[in-house]
A and B are shown apart, each in its own frame.
Chain A
Amino acid sequence: MTAQEVRLCGLLLQEHFGDVVEKVGTHLLRNGAQHLRAIVQETGTPMDLVKKSLCVLIQHGACAFSSGRKGPGSPVEYQASFERILRILRYPRYIYTAKTLYGDTGELIIEELLQRGHMTMSSTVKTVADRLTLNMEEGHSMEYSEVSNTFSKLVETHFLQRCPPVEVAGKAVSATPDPATTPGAPANNTTPSTPESFADCYKVPHVTLIGRGKRRNSSEDGEDQRNAKRAKEDPETHGDEGIYWQVNFERFHLHFRDQAIISAVANKLDQTSSEIVRTMLRMSEVTTPPIATCTQALSANEIFRSLPPNYNISRPILDQYLTLLVDDPMEFVGKSGDSGGGMYVVNLHRALANLARATLESVVQERFGSRSARIFRLLLRKRHLEQKQVEDFAMIPAKEAKDMLYTLLSENLVQLQEIPKTPDHAPSRTFYLYTVNQLPTARMLLQNCFKTVANLIERRLFETKESKRLLEKSQRIEAILASLQASGAEPEQLTEVEEMITPPEKQQLESLRHHINKLDSAENQVDETIFLLESYIKAMKRL
């Protein structure tokens, strides 16, 4: 756990869960697995606050507990997970993706589940229906069945998954964090309520949910009243107690990865090739395991049949496009055989590596200029080069090339490799070669990204603190305005209240809002880079 990671996690926890949880969380992150007493002693927080914080962290999946290392009698140990806390940065992206795929209902389901950690299906459906009903016109309300349908669709496409079961005896967690697509999960877990055992973590439970979303302070029809009464009588027995659902982040990440590949192809080649790649990825969504290097081989015939109908591409043109894709130096698509008109695969890992490389190159270009970027790209391709060779290949005059190389070296983007000619490593008889290693450089840039986001958050907190008085004043005035409008005041009174904020204050507020928007937007965009680099590093780790 690097210092930057801990700092960023601390800031995220503080924003979303408060200072107490932040203290407990950072303590766990820094010191590994700890038991309750140690946490209480070392953080100096009262016992019940520590317990509450641990409950909150476990609820959101940021902390896991297991029986102690010293044997079955030792106290329960808690361990915080840095990755899960980092996902908080990406919540807006998940919610937006759900909106594009499943509409407003899907968006609200994902938002509720992200905010609450994990929930049962019935409570999710009820809350989402109520929220949707609030936004609908008078007299309309949202059916529970519609929301349940969207929920089931999300589960079918694996965007939602069941929380892993907790062994009741001794409260020790079975170490299966993600019983993903294996249908035969261990059958030694007893389920509390549903008759069928945990055969599959993507199985939607049989839930008897009949009703509509409720709107507060509104009169209901007779039918709704009956259903509402029934719902009130058995408040929680809908047949799915103990079955909690959580968002499956890995599936979202696969979706983001596919999106990145498709947009890269669209930028490099053209729209039609990106549609072909999109079709190929869509076809192999279910058959490809998440850690695969490339998708399953698809024949050209299958691709032709599955293309979207509004793309009138004839067969020979499709073949030409596929050949182009295969010959492209980025190697997004590869040919693995000739049967069925040619077997094609999408090279996922290689695509990720290329995307990461493009990110690194663009970072160097934006920070040091295009000529330094040329040297960097040269070194990436040619691996090891001497000082003289760099100058020649890059076609840059010697002095400037030297300068740029040293700047890159001091920033640790370029490394020096010594190759001795004689066993005594005499400097005059040693080759000094410049080289770039993509994976360590990517790791370093990832740490820089964490530092960047932490700095952005701190700056935003600083700006808010500076103008705290002004913000409070404007909030109070907004509240007064809202209450005046609700009670039907005259426009003169409204303007009078509005004038309580002077024009220079208005300007200050405006610029403050503009700054905060910029900082927030920057956080979102740095998170995209974090996603790319993290996926690349993870993919390389598995090799």
Chain B
Amino acid sequence: MAGRGGRGRGRSNMTFSLENLGIGRGEALPPSSLQPSPLFPPMTFQPVPLQTGEEVEYMLALKQELRAATKNLPYYIRQSAARRDVLRYSDKYHRDEARDSIMDWRPDWSRLPNELCIKVRKSQKKAVLPQLKGTKTTTSGKEEVLSKLEFLEKKEEIVNSEDEEDEEKKKTNEEEEQEQEEELDEEEVEEETDYIMSYFDNGEDFGVDSDDNMDEATY
């Protein structure tokens, strides 16, 4: 007892006996560390080199091909890109790219719960709108008006809305804007001033244009 007491006083008092764990008397303990262990400690044994061979190469190629292929499947869902502040010409092409791949895949709705099915109707509605916007950017005026008329007809068929007059007015307004934009382009090319001519628009064009459109619409 006395011997053990003396030994205990000499070192720290611990609940277990150091002898049993193998640290003999008089032996120095390893120094205690005062900082966390390094993030990448040096390795005493280097790892075994990777396997090589035909099988391994083939599976490697398969893996890389699979990874590249999944990016193009409709299952790869990208968040819609943040709307940029200015409309750019390339947006027309980028938007259609993304939409095509998502539309490719029609899951079997009978195998999915009802609440996930609502997407189908939404996609139909969305399909109508971009076509309208797309026709805005066509350049020649006559084709524009003709295509506008076609879409007018289609829209009347598909969407049974009560506000047909409002829609027609909206379209005439859009057409006016487009014609004004065309006029803008022509004027800018002609005069090469820094000022956009439509700022000085005195409103004479408004009645003139709408009369023309009314004539054509009655056909």
Contact = CB atoms under 8 A, between A and B. Distances in A.
Interface of A: 15-21, 36, 48-49, 51-56, 58-60, 65, 75-76, 91-93, 95-96, 111, 114-117, 163, 166, 168, 171, 192, 242, 244, 366-369, 387-388, 398, 402, 427-428, 430, 432, 517-518, 520-525
A366 B62 contact: no
A76 B111 CA distance: 13
Interface string B87-104: 000000000000000100
Interface in B65-109: 66-67, 69-70, 73, 75-79, 102, 107-108
A29 B119 CA distance: 25
Nearest to B122: A48
B70 A115 contact: yes
What is the predominant secondary structure among interface residues of chain A facing chain B? helix
B77 A244 contact: no
Nearest to B62: A92
B159 interface: no
B34 to A, nearest CB: 17
Interface residues of B, number: 47
Interface stretch (B48-56, B135-143, B198-206): B48-56
Interface stretch (B14-22, B144-152, B185-193): B14-22
Contacts of A56: 75, 77
Contact of B66 (A59, A76, A92): A92
Nearest 8 Cβ contacts at the A-B interface: A427-B16, A92-B62, A427-B17, A92-B59, A76-B113, A387-B22, A92-B63, A171-B113
Given A427-B15, A428-B17, A525-B51, A58 B76 contact: no
B115 A36 contact: yes
A523 B48 CA distance: 14
21 contacts: A16-B76, A17-B70, A18-B77, A19-B79, A49-B77, A51-B118, A52-B102, A52-B119, A65-B112, A75-B115, A92-B62, A96-B55, A116-B75, A166-B110, A171-B113, A242-B110, A244-B108, A366-B48, A520-B63, A521-B56, A524-B56
B79 A49 contact: yes
A381 to B, nearest CB: 21
Contact of A432 (B4, B21, B64, B73): B21
B60 A521 contact: yes
Given A51-B118, A520-B60, A430 B108 contact: no
B19 to A, nearest CB: 8
A500 to B, nearest CB: 23
Contacts of B55: 96
Contacts of A54: 116
A91 B108 contact: no
Interface of B: 4, 14-17, 19-23, 44-45, 47-48, 50-51, 55-56, 58-60, 62-64, 66-67, 69-70, 73, 75-79, 102, 107-108, 110-116, 118-119, 122
Contacts of B70: 15-17, 115
Given A17-B77, A520-B63, A96 B115 contact: no
A93 B66 CA distance: 12
A428 B122 CA distance: 77
A58 B112 CA distance: 8
A117 B70 CA distance: 12
Contacts of B50: 518, 521-522, 525
Given A49-B79, A518-B50, A524-B60, A369 B44 contact: yes
A366 B27 CA distance: 30
A247 B48 CA distance: 34
B77 A387 contact: no
A96 B62 contact: yes
Contacts of A36: 115-116
B45 A387 contact: no
Nearest to B4: A428
A430 B60 contact: no
B20 A17 contact: no
A54 B76 CA distance: 12
A475 to B, nearest CB: 11
Contacts of A242: 108, 110
Contacts of B44: 369
Given A17-B70, A76-B113, A521-B60, A366 B22 contact: no
Contact of B75 (A60, A168, A171, A518): A60
Contacts of A430: 16, 20
Contacts of B122: 48
A56 B77 CA distance: 9
Contacts of A428: 4, 17, 19-20
A244 B69 CA distance: 22
Nearest to A522: B50
A434 B202 CA distance: 97
A55 B107 contact: yes
Nearest to B43: A367
Nearest to B107: A55
Contacts of B79: 18-20, 49
Contacts of B115: 36, 51, 75-76
Given A166-B111, A520-B64, A525-B51, A17 B118 contact: no
A518 to B, nearest CB: 7
B83 to A, nearest CB: 14
A388 B22 CA distance: 8
Contacts of A523: 63
B77 A53 contact: yes
Given A49-B77, A96-B55, A521-B50, A387 B20 contact: yes
Contacts of A115: 66, 69-70, 73
A18 B116 contact: no
Given A171-B113, A428-B20, A369 B75 contact: no
Contact of B107 (A17, A21, A59, A163): A59
Nearest to B58: A96
A15 to B, nearest CB: 6
A53 B79 CA distance: 11
A53 B20 CA distance: 59
A192 B111 CA distance: 12
A427 B110 CA distance: 68
A524 B59 contact: yes
B113 A65 contact: yes
Contacts of A166: 110-111
A532 B76 CA distance: 31
